[in-house]
């Protein structure tokens, strides 16, 4: 095993970071968030970066989950609006064999999975199929407000199917919701006899793939947000004085910073390790993804509160940027399943009640030296 970015990956991350530093700043963010319209950013991002992390034959520009995780990390690090990108990236596996549609989707015509973002995608509640089109409501759909098409899990005659539905139909009603975190959007979506087209894929396996991707990419998002909060808190501690000294010289403040740093570097280690595991379909990839999501996003909310304490009252205001990342990290904890839900997933896979059974060798070798 080698934990190391390739030269291409390093170059990609650097170029993306450069581009983002020009495209996003606090003022722009607040403009997009106040107006509730981040389409300007979403469009220019799609124009310049669409399809990185998606193989060329599938309609992307090449690369895999490591590249997608780098994208998620760096988007979060500047708090860039990313609902459309994330929703589309997750939906892509459902469009296998349709490279033109993928290209269109990543190019600025977002596609979203019609599943509640409060749960693991593989546990999505399917709509009932029928002759009169699709009918039903799904609350809290990621990018439900901006998606032009939905990938919809449907219970068909032979079991679970995936359909694609145009969001522009009259029979599709979308009610945007108001999140504390403005960098992502959710909407409640109701279909009332919507026309749909069935996708020729193994629905169960696609939803499992989407779940693993969601786990890794939300964890990567927390990595970026946590790094940003660490940077803000450490910078602040070096310029804010109290009792005649910089607050960064107090041991309690140092230890708080160190605890965030431990979380950040553990997250960095695990996000990319897990991305590689999922991409190369390791035997334990599903557990790796679940563990990364549960651990990193839970620790991310602890880091957010620690960063807030390090800032004192100023971090608690609307006008300070800390709140942007604070809310971003908090949303990630529950987005696509709480740590508890993912841990239950792990517990199931570990077959904890399998008394007298031969132990499945679910676990890799140890690295202690």
Partner 1 sequence: MDFSERPDEAQFRTEVRAWLSETLPTLQWPEPPELEDKVPFWRPYQTALFEAGYAGLTWPQEYGGQGLDERMSSIFSEESAHAGAPERLNTIGEDFAGPTIAHFGTAEQKEKYLRRILTGEDIWCQLFSEPESGSDLASLRTKAVKVDGGWRITGQKIWTSRAQLAAHAILLARTGGGERHRGITYFLLPMDSEGVTVRPLEHMLGEAEFNEVFLDEVFLPDSAVVGEVDGGWKVTMGTLAFERVAIATGRVNTVKEIRNLVDDVRSRTDADGNPLGADPHVRRSVADLWGRVHLHQAISQRVISGATGGEPPGEVTSIGKLFFCPLVEDLADFGLSLEPLNDQFDLEDEVAAVGTGGLAAAEHEAGPQDQGHRHWLRLANQARGTAIAGGSTYIQRNIVAERILGMPKK
State the burial class of residue 55 (Cβ atoms within 10 Å of its Cβ: 0-12, 13-18, 19+): middle
Q: Does residue 255 belong to the site contacting a second copy (CB under 8 A)?
A: yes
Q: Does residue 262 belong to the site contacting a second copy (CB under 8 A)?
A: no
Phi-psi region of 60 (alpha: psi -120 to 50; beta: other; left: phi over 0): beta
Q: How far is the CB of 298 from a second copy (least distance, A)?
A: 20
329 binds, among partner 1, a second copy, none (CB under 5 to 8 A by kind): none
The partner residues of 173 in beta bridges, in order of sequence, read 190
Report residue 46: phi and psi, to 5°: -60, -40
- Round to whole Å and give the CA distance between 133 and 141: 20
- Round to whole Å and give the CA distance between 282 and 270: 15
Residues between 310 and 339 that touch a second copy (CB under 8 A):
none
Q: Does residue 5 belong to the site contacting a second copy (CB under 8 A)?
A: no
- Round to whole Å and give the CA distance between 62 and 39: 25
Among 251, 353, 357, 368, indicate the residue that binds a second copy (CB under 8 A). 251
In the three-class reduction of DSSP (H, G, I as helix; E, B as strand; rest coil), residue 111 is classed as strand
Residue 226 and residue 329 in contact, taking contact as beta carbons nearer than 8 Å: yes
Residues between 139 and 168 that touch partner 1 (CB under 8 A):
139-140
Nearer to partner 1, 193 or 334 (CB): 334
Report residue 59: phi and psi, to 5°: 105, 10
Q: Does residue 252 belong to the site contacting a second copy (CB under 8 A)?
A: yes
Size of the site for partner 1 (CB under 8 A): 108
Token reading at 142: 């990621």
State the burial class of residue 307 (Cβ atoms within 10 Å of its Cβ: 0-12, 13-18, 19+): buried
Q: Does residue 132 belong to the site contacting partner 1 (CB under 8 A)?
A: no
Helix or strand run (H / E) with residue 142: strand 134-142
Among 40, 202, 282, 302, indicate the residue that binds partner 1 (CB under 8 A). 282
Q: How far is the CB of 333 from a second copy (least distance, A)?
A: 24
241 binds, among partner 1, a second copy, none (CB under 5 to 8 A by kind): partner 1
Residue 85 and residue 295 in contact, taking contact as beta carbons nearer than 8 Å: no
Nearer to a second copy, 180 or 252 (CB): 252
- Round to whole Å and give the CA distance between 129 and 203: 14
Q: Which stretch binds a second copy (CB under 8 A): 48-56, 124-132, 214-222, 249-257?
A: 249-257
Among 60, 181, 207, 216, indicate the residue that binds partner 1 (CB under 8 A). 181
Residues between 306 and 335 that touch partner 1 (CB under 8 A):
308-309, 312-313, 316-319, 323, 326-327, 330-331, 334-335
Q: Which stretch binds partner 1 (CB under 8 A): 53-61, 89-97, 107-115, 229-237?
A: 229-237
* Contact footprint for a second copy (CB under 8 A): 250-252, 255
């Amino acid at each position: 095993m080698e934990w190391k970015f390739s030269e291409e990956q390093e170059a990609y991350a650097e170029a993306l970071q450069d581009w983002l530093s020009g495209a996003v700043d606090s003022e722009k963010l607040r403009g997009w968030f106040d107006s509730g319209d981040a389409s300007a950013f979403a469009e220019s991002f799609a124009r310049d970066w669409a399809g990185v992390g998606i193989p060329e034959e599938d309609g992307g520009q090449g690369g895999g989950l490591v590249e997608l995780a780098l994208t998620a990390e760096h988007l979060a690090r500047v708090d860039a609006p990313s609902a459309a990108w994330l929703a589309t990236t997750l939906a892509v596996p459902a469009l296998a064999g349709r490279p033109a549609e993928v290209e269109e989707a990543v190019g600025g015509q977002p596609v979203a999975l019609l599943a509640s973002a409060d749960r693991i995608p593989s546990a999505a509640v399917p709509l009932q199929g029928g002759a009169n089109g699709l009918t039903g409501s799904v609350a809290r759909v990621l990018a439900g407000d901006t998606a032009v098409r939905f990938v919809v899990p449907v219970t068909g005659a032979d079991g679970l199917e995936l359909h694609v539905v145009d969001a522009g139909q009259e029979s599709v009603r979308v009610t945007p919701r108001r999140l504390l975190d403005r960098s992502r959007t959710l909407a409640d979506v109701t279909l009332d006899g919507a026309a749909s087209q069935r996708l020729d894929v193994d629905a169960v396996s696609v939803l499992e793939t989407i779940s693993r991707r969601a786990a890794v990419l939300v964890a990567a998002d927390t990595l970026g947000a946590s790094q940003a909060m660490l940077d803000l808190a450490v910078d602040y501690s070096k310029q804010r004085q109290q009792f005649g000294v910089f607050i960064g010289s107090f041991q309690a403040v140092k230890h708080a910073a160190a605890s965030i740093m431990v979380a950040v570097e553990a997250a960095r280690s695990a996000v990319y390790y897990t991305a590689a595991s999922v991409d190369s379909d390791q035997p334990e990839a599903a557990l790796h993804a679940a563990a990364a999501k549960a651990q990193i996003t839970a620790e991310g909310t602890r880091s957010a509160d620690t960063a807030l304490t390090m800032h004192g009252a100023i971090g608690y205001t609307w006008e300070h940027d800390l709140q942007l990342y604070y809310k971003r990290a908090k949303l990630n904890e529950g987005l696509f399943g709480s740590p508890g839900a993912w841990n239950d997933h792990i517990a199931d896979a570990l077959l904890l009640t399998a008394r007298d059974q031969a132990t499945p060798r679910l676990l890799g070798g140890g690295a202690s030296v």
